[in-house]
Structure 1
Amino acid sequence: MHTLWRIIAGFFKWTWRLLNFVREFILNLFLILLILLGVGLYFGLQSKPADTPTKGALLVNLSGSVVDKPSVNNKMRQFGRELLGTSSNRLQENSLFDLVDTIRQAKDDKNITGMVLSLSDFTGTDQASLQYIGKALREFRDSGKPIYAVGDSYNQTQYYLASFANKIYLSPQGMVDLHGFATNTLYYKSLLDKLKVTTNIFRVGTYKSAVEPLMRDDMSPAARDADSRWVGALWSNYLNTVSANRQLTPEQLFPGATAMLTALQQVGGNTAEYALKNKLVDALTSRGEAEQDMVKAFGWNKQDKDFNYTSIYDYAPAPKPDSKDPQIAVIFANGAIIDGQEQPGDVGGDTTADQIRQARLDPKIKAIVFRVNSPGGSVSASEVIRSELAAARAAGKPVVVSMGGMAASGGYWISTPANYIIASPSTLTGSIGIFGVINTYQDTLGQFGVHTDGVATSPLADIAVTKALPPEFSQMMQMNIENGYKTFLDLVAKSRNKTPEQIDQIAQGHVWIGTDAKNNGLVDQLGDFDDAVKKAAELAKLPKWKLNWFTSQPSLTDLIFSQVNASVYAMLPAVAQAYLPAPVAQVALQMRSQADLFNNMNDPQNRYALCLTCGEVK
């Protein structure tokens, strides 16, 4: 027996030692990998002399989306792509301002003789950003350098940019997918009823529809009326720009579903032939034939066995020399507004306020351009940002707000201290309203025999998600929401030199497109980021200036995990589609998106100024 126990004990002893060895071996390998990554990242991000680009085309092969402020900066993203080899290009984010700046520098580069748009991996951006990119493309084309668009097919976003080309190529089996805009939101009332979840909603504003998914199974008539107005205006802006580029009328570009069906029947359902016949494209060619045309235009590269081009991701024009000119700070509010520190894709109230404070205290900075692209969020965080921006203005530094695709609700709240507000014609703004949501689960738990009871010194102390809200707390919450709305009205009224009553007429949660916001006095001018910079320089009386971009730099750990997450999410759609019908997978992704938005709500008073549908246009 003694011998048997020695054998058993020895087995476990050596097994434990083996496990310890394996654990330490893996940890050491991981440590070595981190050290190598750190060293490689350090040298990879060092400034290098710019290589002379290949004489030929600038290949705009955009992958992923275009945003105001990417979660990972361009150098780190390129390093991650090269070193970690991720296959998630369609999930990467591109900086709008870097893209436009690159196109403008290529316009004046003698080595760049034209441009090729290859947009099959471009997943999209908002309408205001498309207009700004289009402006740069028009400047490039007007310089005398040709632009060619090459694609197997074009969705609406891709086709918007392709329409700026001198010539559009389409595969004989391709299509130009023009269908219009729509918003689709999931509604959960019946689900919450089945789960016996009690949703306590407090709001002000007839058109404040952000809470409707929790209290209805469909869109309210008021929300439908409001959304129809701005969605229709967005579509009109799209058609006017693209039809002008193609020298068509909006009706010729998109004659409507019935007329399109009739025209498709005439060509036997051939979508490519329809696009050519209706002048949406200029030529139907295979990839090989289009490549031969690019070779004729830009020459043949024997080494790469392709036409001469430099990818927009490899193009590195000579850096601009340092100057001692006074600075204009560019500070971003990109994403939903949350309390605390910034998170990828969200606006951290404390982070943004700290950046504004730095700009206010820096004597080299003479003005601030505040770039807002946000549907709003926490009232508390919005006020932290607004008050710091007001302090900067009070310190004598002009503040100009440049609105991107969205500056709605809390996004408008943080814009109110500005000396001047500039919006794109397609900006979604306004949505001046407040709401609060608290879910309680007493009935849900009751189904499983779980109940809550106890004692409290007052009804206000007896608040828990496992109990119904006391009537006294509900009344106080509604009063708090109404007070927040009144504060919102007062801030806007003071900013726009109107009375609160006048603002209330255009508030109530109503979303306005940029052109309507200008007519209603909510913005001062229709324009883009360039106009905002010029206005800031004018207000600060600066004949010369340079821009100081306030962007946070993610750590090495953030880079690694962002690349890993991107790889995982790149695989998820394919996995979902393999096991689920496409509509089910799409609904699952939409539910996740809405859940993420609500999960990030961390206002200490549960008060939110948020436009839920502003970012849901497809």
Structure 2
Amino acid sequence: MRALWQIIVAIFKLSWRVLNFIRQAFFNLIFLIVLLVGLGAYLQVQDANQRPEKGALLVNLSGTIVDTLSSDIKLRQLSQELIGGNNEVQENSLFDIVKQIRYAKDDEKISGMVLSLNNFVGADQPSLKYIGKALKEFRDSGKPIYAIGDSYSQGQYYLASFANKIYLSPMGDVSLPGIATNGLYYKSLLDKLKVTTNIFRVGTYKSAVEPFIRDDMSPEARQADSRWVNALWSNYLTDVAANRGLSVGEVYPEPTQLIKQLKASNGNTAEFALNSKLVDAIHSRADIEKVLTKEFGWNEKNKNFNFTSIYNYQIPDPEPKYEKDAEIAVIFANGAIVDGPEMPGMVGSDTTAKLLRDARLDDNVKAVILRVNSPGGSVTASEMIRAEVQAVKDAGKPVVVSMGGLAASGGYWISTPADYIISSPSTLTGSIGIFGVINTFENSLDAIGVHTDGVATSPLAEATITKQLPPQFAEMMQLTIENGYKTFINLVAKARNKTPAEVDKLAQGRVWIGLDAKNNGLVDMLGDFDDAVNKAAELAKLESYDLKWTKNEPGLRDILLGQASISVNSLLPEAFKIQLPAPLQQVADDMNKQPGFFGNMNDPGHRYIYCLSCSYSN
């Protein structure tokens, strides 16, 4: 009896300790939230107090530019203030940046702009082009733009090329290496690990499965990728050359000519950039400060020229144009398409379908713009979203798809019901194909002395990763993949007024750049988001309307977990990576750049419409 009593007491003590820990953790969390909110308010007041009466808009972008943020921007900025971290992981909203630049154009307190892009990592080409459009509007208003940088990467220089004056530090350079695709191929590794890869696919150009079955790129994939890579590079050079008043050959001479010019500059990359008219002057930071002070005045309190950072530049919410009786809903499909709720950087089918349904049932919403920036993903998830897009259209509300940098495979599947599809000339789209991948490990287990055995009611019940796939199951998988491809072809044929045979010639998993997609009838118009808004208003016959930016708001749990994930991912990988030998560091970088698909394959039927080859370095 005594022993039983001791056990009860021990259980009670343990339970009490657990409850006490939970209580302390809960109240500590509440205290931390209050502290963060209070500190955030204090920092905002400080920022407001530091804002000069008149000066430049300092566009000091850090990190990347995305269509929609994956977590709460304010809390992320605050966490960076508190604990620091890698600014390369910071996300910036494309549409917020454009809105701020356009507002600053007419703001009497903003007399010019300074592009400080040292910490800007990059964006896809259509996003850069859209920001460039706003920069040109600002510059054409008569307000000067200055670009300053220690050096310029390719993405940084694209934005800098819109400036009236580009300044470069004495030891800097303008790096324009071009555009390349680089993927990792695992066949030899899988062979060494004795992993059996079962591939089911349709499409000559559907190269997403090639990493499993090859050690290099297939000739078909190389041919297709070469076309859109060269087109992207041509678009880049054409825009930069026009901005600088140069020819494409002057911006990017042939390698032999480039080396000759670099030799003439004695290998000095800054002098080379100046002589090539890529920059207007070579200045130290102190000299640049003098130029900007002369233009914008000196702020004695901040000991710098007068400026307002774009991160502190607050613009008022626009007044409703039509008492909110007429709205155009903007819904984002940004990232790989997966089944279930939305995850950071992913398009959750449940979440996106709900947003579309809400727009369909909202009487104030008269039209929908679906902003697609996705390489695709799960067939099941893509079909769920497509069906909701079709339902919006069937309800009599026009749907316009605005394609970002990437709207391929599943990204194109969900676009098919739209009344109108608008892509950028540099959008990567198409990739109409389908595949399935199932890895089994029977040989791997056998090599270490582990074996699987049992009984089953049919061969189909024995489909498991620990055994060779039954031939009946493999045959069924291939049939479902072929059916999925046929469905994809028919969806496109119906939407684009083509025959299935005509679509098949454009399909086979082939990737098309926006210009080619327009010429082949896969999209209706080349343009940007502004064009999508105008077309949606036209189709809905709206003269006055408001844009309703719909997105899934993260809960407190999602925000806190998201911030923890960002902090860990920004600190630990780099800390680990620097311990690796140089060749392995490069492999780690390449793996990080490859789209995050393999860890998110959750289609219940193992079927995917995904463009893995659509990743490129810019």
The interval holding the TM-score normalised by the smaller chain is over 0.9
Partner of 2:445: 445
Inter-partner Cα distance in structure 2 for 1:81 and 1:71: 16
Matches within 5 A, 1:372-451: 372-451=372-451
Q: How far did 1:95 drift?
A: 0.4
2:69 maps to 70
CA 1:149 to 1:593, structure 2 compared with 1: closer, same or farther past 3 Å? closer
**What is the identity, as a one-letter code, of the residue corresponding to 1:457?**
T
Q: How far has the Cα of 1:306 moved from its partner?
A: 0.3
- 1:129: Cα distance to partner? 0.4
Q: Provide Cα deviations, 1:70-120, integer angstroms capped at 9, x if missing partner.
A: 1123333334444x4432322110000001000000011000000000011
1:569 matched residue in structure 2: 569
Residue matched to 2:3: none
1:282 aligned to 267, 280, 283, which one?
280
Q: Secondary structure at the match of 1:153?
A: coil
In structure 2, C-alpha distance between the alignment counterparts of 1:351 and 1:593, rounded to whole Å: 26
Structure 2 residue 234 is the aligned partner of structure 1 residue 233: no
Q: Distance in 2 between matches of 1:272 and 1:366?
A: 53
The residue number in structure 2 matching 1:55 is 54
CA distance in 2, matches of 1:188, 1:496: 37
The separation in 1 between residues aligned to 2:342 and 2:38, in whole angstroms, is 24
Aligned-partner Cα distance in 2 for 1:259–1:592: 34
SS of equivalent residue, structure 1 residue 202: strand
Contact 2:375 2:409 in 1 (8 A): yes
1:165 deviates by 0.4
1:481-492 to 2 correspondences below 5 Å: 481-492=481-492
Tell me if structure 1 keeps the 8 A contact 2:435–2:607. yes
Q: What are the within-5 Å matches in structure 2 for residues 258-273 of structure 1?
A: 258-273=256-271
The correspondence for 1:124, drawn from 96, 107, 122, is: 122
Q: Deviations over 1:407-442 (max 9, x none)?
A: 000000000000000000000000000000000000
Question: For 2:52 and 2:555, how far apart are their aligned partners in 1?
Answer: 30
Q: CA separation in 2, counterparts of 1:73 and 1:540?
A: 32
Q: Secondary structure at the match of 1:579?
A: coil
Residues 515-547 of structure 1, C-alpha deviations (whole Å, 9 max, x = no match):
000000000000000000100000000000111
Q: Distance in 1 between matches of 2:254 and 2:555?
A: 50
Aligned to 1:367: 367
Tell me, which stretches of 5 or more residues in structure 2 are unaligned? 1-5
Deviation at 1:574, TM superposition (A): 4.0
Cα distance in 2 between the residues matched to 1:131 and 1:616:
17
- Residue in 1 that maps onto 2:357: 357
Contact 2:52–2:306 (CA under 8 A) maintained in structure 1 = no
Q: Specify which of 157, 168, 171 is matched with residue 170 of structure 1.
A: 168
Which is further off, 167-176 or 255-264? Answer: 255-264
Structure 2 residue aligned with 1:537: 537
Question: 1:142-180 CA distances to partner (integer Å, 9 max, x unpaired)?
Answer: 000000000000000000000000000000000000111
| Percent of paired sites with the same residue | 62
CA–CA distance in structure 2, aligned partners of residues 252 and 40 of structure 1: 51
For the residues of structure 2 that align with 1:393 and 1:253, how far apart are their CA atoms? 46
- The alignment's TM-score, normalised by the length of structure 1, stands at 0.93
Contact 2:52–2:299 (Cα < 8 Å) also in 1: no
The answer as to 2:30 corresponding to 1:34 is: yes
Amino acid at match of 1:443: N
**1: CA distance, partners of 2:505 / 2:607:** 22
Which position in structure 1 is the counterpart of 2:178? 180
**CA deviation after TM superposition for structure 1 residue 392, in Å:** 0.4
- Contact 2:594 2:615 (8 Å CA) reproduced: no
| Matched residue, 1:100 | 98
- Choose 259-268 or 57-66, whichever is displaced more: 259-268
Partner of 1:5: none
How far residue 603 of structure 1 moved from its aligned partner, in angstroms, is 0.6
Contact 2:182 2:590 in 1 (8 A): no
Q: Does structure 2 retain, via aligned residues, the 8 Å contact 1:337–1:347? A: yes
**Structure 2: distance between partners of 1:185 and 1:483:** 29
In 1, Cα distance between the equivalents of 2:173 and 2:234?
Answer: 21
Partners of 1:26 and 1:418 lie apart in 2 by 50
1:573 is displaced (CA, Å) by 5.2
Distance of aligned partners of 1:42 and 1:366 in 2 relative to their CA distance in 1, 3 Å threshold: farther
Letter paired with 1:145: K
Residues 336, 345 of structure 1: 8 Å contact kept: yes
What letter is aligned with 2:121?
A: T
Structure 2 match to 1:316 = 314
Q: Is residue 201–residue 211 contact of structure 1 (8 Å, CA) maintained in 2?
A: yes
1:538-557 correspondence runs (5 A): 538-557=538-557
| Secondary structure at 2:578 match in 1 | helix
For the residue of structure 1 that corresponds to 2:200, the secondary structure is: strand
In structure 2, distance between residues paired with 1:484 and 1:42: 53
TM-score (norm 2): 0.93
- More moved, 34-43 vs 458-467: 34-43
Measure, in 2, the Cα distance between the counterparts of 1:458 and 1:496.
Answer: 43
Structure 1 Cα separation of the partners of residues 264 and 601 of structure 2: 52
Q: Distance in 1 between matches of 2:247 and 2:553?
A: 46
- State the Cα distance separating 1:459 from its structure 2 match: 1.1
Give, in whole Å, the separation in 1 of the partners of 2:18 and 2:511. Answer: 59
SS across alignment from 1:503: helix
- Shift of the 42–549 alpha-carbon distance from structure 1 to 2, 3 Å rule, reads farther
Matches of 2:286 and 2:336 in 1, distance apart? 44
Gaps of 5+ in 1: 1-8
What secondary structure, in the 3-state scheme, does the structure 2 residue paired with 1:62 have? coil
1:209 aligns with 2:207: yes
Deviation at 1:455, TM superposition (A): 1.6
Shift of 1:387: 0.4
Is 1:475 aligned with 2:471?
Answer: no
CA-to-aligned-CA distance 1:346-390 (integer Å, 9 cap, x gap):
000111000000000000000000000000000000000000100
Aligned counterpart, 1:511:
511
**Residue number in structure 2 paired with 1:246:** 244
Secondary structure of the equivalent of 2:548?
strand
Structure 2 counterpart of 1:311, one-letter code: S
Contact 1:45–1:75 (8 Å) recurs in 2: no
